[in-house]
Amino acid sequence: MWGGRFDKAPADRARAFTRSFPIDRRMYREDIVASRAHAAMLGRSGLLPQDSVRAIIEGLDGLLEELVACGGPSLTDDEDIHSFVERELTERIGEDGRRLHFARSRNDQVATDFRLYCKGFSLRLADALLDLMEVLVTRAAEEAETVAPGFTHLQVAQPITLGHYFLALTEMHERDLAEVIRAFSAADVCPLGSGALSGVPYDIDREGVAEELGFSQISRNSLDAVADRDFVTVILNACAGLAGHLSRWSEDLVVWASPGYQLIRFDEAYSTGSSMLPQKQNPDIAELTRARAASVLGVAVGWQATLKGVPLAYGLDLQEDKRAVFGVEDDLLVGLSAITGAIATATIDRARMADLARQGYPEAIEIADYLSELGLPFRDAHAAAGRLVRLAESKNVALLGLDDSDFSDVDARLPGEIRNRLDLRGIVDRRSSYGGTAPALVADEANRARQRIDWNRDRLRELVRDGLPQPLRGIIGD
């Protein structure tokens, strides 16, 4: 590729360290598609004769077809995906293959390829995330009326509906989805035509190339175009945010599946056993989801540390972007799919949910609220309810187990109505301010969340259709 200026070939160990083909061969589709658009542009701009362009395009199309059929390039001795494609092309069509790299550098080429890759990755991720959100919304609708313990500090705080919990997760993941779509937009700028760093000395049709490749914009500054990997930072941060959310609720599930709680049970198909202890059924998928979030975050932070040290424009440090993103993609897509299956099939123990929701006097606030409604200052009402909790604790009964006289000692008006107020189902039913846990609200919100998922699915289809060139589209939802 650059032997003309050198007397020596690279040392084996230098090459082993610097070459990227073992990793970047994964983006062979992107490289071929971008080369195709570049060749067509060279033809339109009069830089290559049409015969050569035709030969190049036919050669690239044939190569792509072959590679797709066999699942991608096998590991050859090539330096990177770019030199692999050029060599394969030249072996097929001869000298015209050697004309392809006119008015292009690997610097603008690799930035283009990887932007295409990250656009596709963001859409694959959005697709998998929508699958998870659909499961969460389904579970929310099923459990709209299930009374469950609501925790703060991992202490039972107030009863909620389990559907409300699942919708809280949907909210988190809707924000993740917005970040993932933003990552698509961040990558959606075409740098091809920037050359090595300063542009090219020809009147080339950059808009046409961008359009053919599904980019909505072209880069404005050639130096920035080849130096910029902020789109990598954006997608890795989106991944770290998503993985962090998955980790957080995975931790809930690990706790909920433990003997002290027994609120849920993972399906056997999504559990693992122990080689020694015959009775064990472990929540390994949730645990691994928790751990993988840490490594995704580590990659995201490591990448930003890499990027901050690279002087403009290009440095080989930037080659590490593929290693970072591909690893995160593998971890996240496999993990997301497994945890989606785990939550879809987990069994919920509704009786245990209700039992635990009663532990620790979570109805005490009802007494304080009722006394406030009767005209007591809330602070005094709070103190009175606290005294009743202490009394119930000393008698070892629930608040409903207190005598009428215990209630009337606090306020003569208390005994009549208060027993109705202490029923858990009534408590959640009354939490009906917008955004509250009332079953009726949860059912409505689940419907609305489902509509938003459907809308996002349509939007995703549009982004695939308008934002990716044909050969890159099939990989969504495969």
Tokens read off for 226: 């080849």
Task: Select the residue interacting with ligand ARG from 291, 294, 312, 316 (CB under 6 A).
Answer: 316
Instruction: Restricting to residues 108-147, name those near ligand ARG by CB under 6 A.
Output: 110
Catalytic-labelled residue, pool 74, 153, 394, 433: 153
In the chain, the amino acid numbered 169 is: L
Residue 107 binding ligand ARG, by CB under 6 A: yes
Which CB sits closer to ligand ARG, 80 or 429?
80
Kindly tell me which residue out of 104, 106, 124, 139 binds ligand ARG, with binding defined by CB under 6 A.
106
Cα four-point dihedral sign 165, 171, 177, 183: negative
Contact pattern for ligand ARG over residues 209 through 248, marking x by CB under 6 A = ----------------------------------------
If binding is defined by CB under 6 A, does position 324 make contact with ligand ARG? no
Of 117, 314, 361, 407, the one binding ligand ARG (CB under 6 A) is: 314
Task: CB nearer to ligand ARG: give 84 or 361.
Answer: 84
Number of residues that bind ligand ARG (CB under 6 A): 10
Name the minimum Å distance from CB 310 to ligand ARG.
11
Of 90 and 319, which has the nearer Cβ to ligand ARG?
319
CB of 64 to ligand ARG, least distance (A): 20
> For ligand ARG, which residue of 45, 281, 282, 319 counts as binding (CB under 6 A)?
319
User: Is residue 358 within the footprint of ligand ARG (CB under 6 A)?
Assistant: no
Contact 255, 240 (CB under 8 A): no
Pairing label, strands 147-152, 155-161:
antiparallel
Residues 381-440 that bind ligand ARG (CB under 6 A): none
Measured from the CB of residue 453, what is the shortest distance to ligand ARG in angstroms? Answer: 36
Smaller CB separation from ligand ARG, 110 or 140: 110
Cβ of residue 220: shortest distance to ligand ARG, in angstroms? 21
User: Is 274 a known active-site residue?
Assistant: yes
Q: In this structure, what token pair is assigned to residue 247?
A: 């980790």
| The one among 78, 80, 188, 445 contacting ligand ARG by CB under 6 A | 80
* CA 206/CA 223 separation, integer angstroms: 16
266 binds ligand ARG (CB under 6 A): no
**Cβ closer to ligand ARG: 2 or 434?**
2
What minimum distance in Å lies between the beta carbon of 31 and ligand ARG?
A: 10
Residue 85 as a binder of ligand ARG (CB under 6 A): the answer is no
CB-wise, 318 or 328, nearer to ligand ARG?
318
d(CA 73, CA 382): 70
Question: What is the C-alpha to C-alpha distance for residues 449 and 425, in angstroms, rounded to an integer?
Answer: 24
Which is it for strands 217-218 and 155-161: parallel, antiparallel or unpaired?
Answer: unpaired
Q: Give dist(CA 247, CA 448) in Å, integer.
A: 25
Burial class (CB in 10 A: 0-12, 13-18, 19+), 50: exposed
Rounded to whole angstroms, the Cα distance separating 440 from 161 reads 10
Smaller CB separation from ligand ARG, 24 or 228: 24
CA dist list (Å): 28 to 79, 82, 185, 396, 474: 13, 8, 22, 70, 15
24 forms part of the interface with ligand ARG (CB under 6 A): yes
Q: How many CA atoms lie within 13 A of 181 on its CB side?
A: 17
How far apart CA 163 and CA 161 sit, in angstroms, is: 5
Q: Of 322, 300, 292, whose CA–CA distance to 30 is shortest?
A: 322
Nearer to ligand ARG, 31 or 445 (CB): 31
Nearest by Cα to 247 from 301, 296, 303: 296
With CA atoms as reference, report the closest residue to 247 among 208, 278, 285, 303.
285
Which stretch, 32-40, 244-252, 315-323, 359-367, contacts ligand ARG (CB under 6 A)?
A: 315-323
DSSP calls for 61-107: HHHHHHHHHTTS----S-SSHHHHHHHHHHHHHGGGGGGTTTT--HH
What are residue 155's DSSP bridge partners?
152
Query: From the CB of 126, what's the least distance to ligand ARG, in Å?
Result: 25
Selecting among 198, 258, 274, 337, the annotated active-site residue is 274
**Window 3-22: residues binding ligand ARG (CB under 6 A):** 20
Sign of the CA dihedral 470, 471, 472, 474? positive
| Residue 88 or 411 with smaller CB distance to ligand ARG | 88
Catalytic residues: 153, 274
Which residues in this chain contact ligand ARG in the complex, by CB under 6 A?
A: 20, 24, 80, 106-107, 110, 314, 316, 318-319
